[in-house]
Structure 1
Amino acid sequence: MTLNSLNSNKSKFKAIALSLFTLLTGCYTHTILANSNNQQATFTSTAQQITLHSSITNKDYLIYIASPQQAAPSTGYPIIYLLDGHLTFSRAESLANNLIEQGIIKPIVIVAIDYQEQWLTFRAQDYTPPHNSTITNDPFIKGEENGGGAEKFLKFITTELKPLIEQKYNIDSQQQALFGHSYGGLFTLFTSFTKPESFQYYYAASPSIWWDNKAIIRESSHFINSQKTYNKPPQLIISVGGLEQTVPTNSPAARKEKLVKRNQVTNAKELANLLSKDASTKLHTRFFIFPEQNHGAVIPFAIQQALTSFFSNPPSHH
């Protein structure tokens, strides 16, 4: 494979590739050609991978970055930060490429956060809010006894990762989005309630509202009752798959019990209604159900909705 064979005039992204790697997400496979001289190269699909150590969480993170080929507007590029990078980055890059090509969304920077190892354990630590000890008695969860690290993880994003990205790219400080699914959706909600000024756009896909006896609902109450006011409240989209609490007839008994206990659709709808009713001046909330989709299948639908809702060209009015 040669550099020339990968060049494409249609590409919307450029890469400063640091190594040869392949991202396998189940939907897309992207092979990135190494560039040992650190020169810019244009590909049909492009990305940059870096490793970033956090002194706050004491973890090493894999950071995937895709950036537009064209020069940034005077206000800077819009940007979206994605959690669970190995599941979201390749999908988001491919979708954004197509949407930019069609003129549907603005050119954006995509940053995805992932782990070098122990993905399930580390995400349970980083994405979950501070919790009480009762959560460790739940037979349907693993790793949460070491959880409750959302505050530190958010500090890593805002004080270590964001400054690094903003040194490398011209970023619009008023067009920044956070996307998370499942535990990532829980973290997205936590951030929107505790540090809403961190981003202007929040997308919580299939959020794990059930976690720790629905502790995030209590956090939302603190947010609703706070005295914070905003000239332009952040936007929040909560979405869920229509089948997320529907039990297939051939499911094992344990899975049936888990689906019933987690109550994904009802919890998401109730929280969205609560926020729309009592926090409309602090957070502009919308809610969507993706019919006939289960917990994992919603990811590409949610990513596309986040891109078109937050970065439409021209901007959408809601």
Structure 2
Amino acid sequence: MMHKKMDKNVMDKTAASTEVTIKGTQQIPMQSSAGKREYQIFVSKPLEEPPSWGYPVIYLLDANSVFGTMVEAVRLQSRRPEKSGVVPAIIVGIGYATNGPFSSERYYDYTLPVAVSELPVRPDGSPWPSHGGAEDFLKFIEEDLKPEIDKRYKVDHDSQTLFGHSLGGLFALYVLFEKPYAFQTYIAGSPSLHWNKKWFREEEEKFLSRLNQGNGDISLLLGVGELEGTHKSGMNGNALELSKRLSLKDSRVNVQFNEFEGEGHLSVLPPLINRALRFALKRNVTGKK
């Protein structure tokens, strides 16, 4: 009898297998109208009906690596917004046609032009991939991607977040400085400020001037892993000093700096995502003001 019972629970090796998908998600191929660059856009729409003012939206860079992590974090935590501080939100991941977690094309999209002589030395000593396309990438987001998302979903235009890590964190800060009101919340994880450090220091005053011309406050979360503090780029120190300068110079920027204990450059992503969700979405819990 025991033998027969066990047979019923054994997986049928002849049964056809199917791919596992995340419910409520889809993938949309897109091409930039300016540079004709190819992207894979990953979108997660909440199963809940949207509030009358629309869903908040989080635009996520490097979607091939962290889209699933963020989608599942939102799905689980938004079940009890009053407890978690996280409401249902649309996640728009910007990725590439690759099966790997990262594409070398990110170097072009996330960076400003820099003279080769000014670039940091690559860890393996090889030349850096093509870089300097941040301006065109921002145009793609603003002129191509956002209008497409607006057509497909009911969006809250007063609650939009940009999330980037490493070079993606650098790009998030570039957008903050260049066009601060493109988003209401910016998450810059382990930002590679050493790549364009000179540009950012020169642009700070212009950034503050742009803030004075807009309406509303802007929130910025800078997050790094504790173990990144020993990196020769000075990543943690650069992020901390930036948070201090922005906090002192203009009270309209709500700046938060977090160093996650025991985490490195990649392991910091899950705790950073959890912190980012509460940082970006908590104000939506009690409803639209």
Q: Same fold (TM over 0.5)?
A: yes
- Indicate conservation of the 8 Å contact 2:58/2:90, yes or no: yes
1:228 paired residue number: 212
2:41 paired residue number: 63
The DSSP-based 3-state class of the residue aligned with 1:220 is: helix
Matched, 1:111 2:82: no
Structure 2: how far apart are the matches of 1:297 and 1:57?
33
Select the residue among 39, 50, 72 that pairs with 1:72: 50
Length-normalised TM-score, structure 1? 0.77
Taking the TM superposition and a 5 Å limit, the aligned residue runs for 1:293-308 are: 293-308=263-278
1:215 paired residue number: 199
- Indicate conservation of the 8 Å contact 1:209/1:217, yes or no: no
Instruction: Go from structure 1 to structure 2 and tell me whether the alpha carbon gap of 1:176 and 1:270 turns closer, same or farther (over 3 Å shift).
Output: same
My pick for the range that moved more, 167-176 or 51-60, is 51-60
Residue 213 of structure 1: how far off its partner (Å): 4.7
The DSSP-based 3-state class of the residue aligned with 1:224 is: helix
The DSSP-based 3-state class of the residue aligned with 1:230 is: coil
2:114 paired residue number: 131
The DSSP-based 3-state class of the residue aligned with 1:211 is: coil
Matched, 1:264 2:235: yes
- Indicate conservation of the 8 Å contact 1:239/1:288, yes or no: yes
- Indicate conservation of the 8 Å contact 2:119/2:195, yes or no: no
Residue 72 of structure 1: how far off its partner (Å): 1.3
Select the residue among 271, 281, 284 that pairs with 1:311: 281
Residue 224 of structure 1: how far off its partner (Å): 2.9
Length-normalised TM-score, structure 2? 0.84
- Indicate conservation of the 8 Å contact 2:58/2:89, yes or no: yes
Highest Rg: 1 or 2?
2
Aligned AA for 1:307?
L
Structure 1: how far apart are the matches of 2:30 and 2:105?
15
1:204 paired residue number: 188
Structure 1: how far apart are the matches of 2:210 and 2:148?
31
What's the Cα RMSD here? 2.4
Instruction: Go from structure 1 to structure 2 and tell me whether the alpha carbon gap of 1:143 and 1:307 turns closer, same or farther (over 3 Å shift).
Output: farther
Structure 2: how far apart are the matches of 1:171 and 1:294?
34
Aligned AA for 2:273?
I
My pick for the range that moved more, 180-189 or 99-108, is 99-108
Residue 129 of structure 1: how far off its partner (Å): 1.9
Q: Which runs of 5+ in 1 are unaligned?
A: 1-20, 23-30, 33-42, 247-258
Instruction: Go from structure 1 to structure 2 and tell me whether the alpha carbon gap of 1:315 and 1:239 turns closer, same or farther (over 3 Å shift).
Output: farther
CA displacement, residues 99-151 of structure 1 (integer Å, 9 cap, x when unaligned):
11132321110110101149442100000123234235734476646211111
Instruction: Go from structure 1 to structure 2 and tell me whether the alpha carbon gap of 1:162 and 1:280 turns closer, same or farther (over 3 Å shift).
Output: same
Aligned AA for 1:125?
Y
Structure 2: how far apart are the matches of 1:154 and 1:196?
12
- Indicate conservation of the 8 Å contact 1:131/1:215, yes or no: no
- Indicate conservation of the 8 Å contact 1:84/1:113, yes or no: yes
- Indicate conservation of the 8 Å contact 1:80/1:109, yes or no: yes
The DSSP-based 3-state class of the residue aligned with 1:62 is: strand
- Indicate conservation of the 8 Å contact 2:163/2:188, yes or no: yes
The DSSP-based 3-state class of the residue aligned with 2:51 is: coil
Structure 1: how far apart are the matches of 2:39 and 2:202?
30
- Indicate conservation of the 8 Å contact 2:120/2:195, yes or no: no
Taking the TM superposition and a 5 Å limit, the aligned residue runs for 1:1-318 are: 31-32=20-21, 45-103=23-81, 104=84, 105-117=86-98, 119-136=102-119, 138-140=121-123, 144=128, 146-226=130-210, 228-246=212-230, 259-260=231-232, 262-281=233-252, 283-312=253-282, 314=285
The DSSP-based 3-state class of the residue aligned with 1:310 is: helix
2:9 paired residue number: none
Percent identical among aligned pairs is 35
Q: Which runs of 5+ in 2 are unaligned?
A: 1-17
Structure 2: how far apart are the matches of 1:198 and 1:285?
17
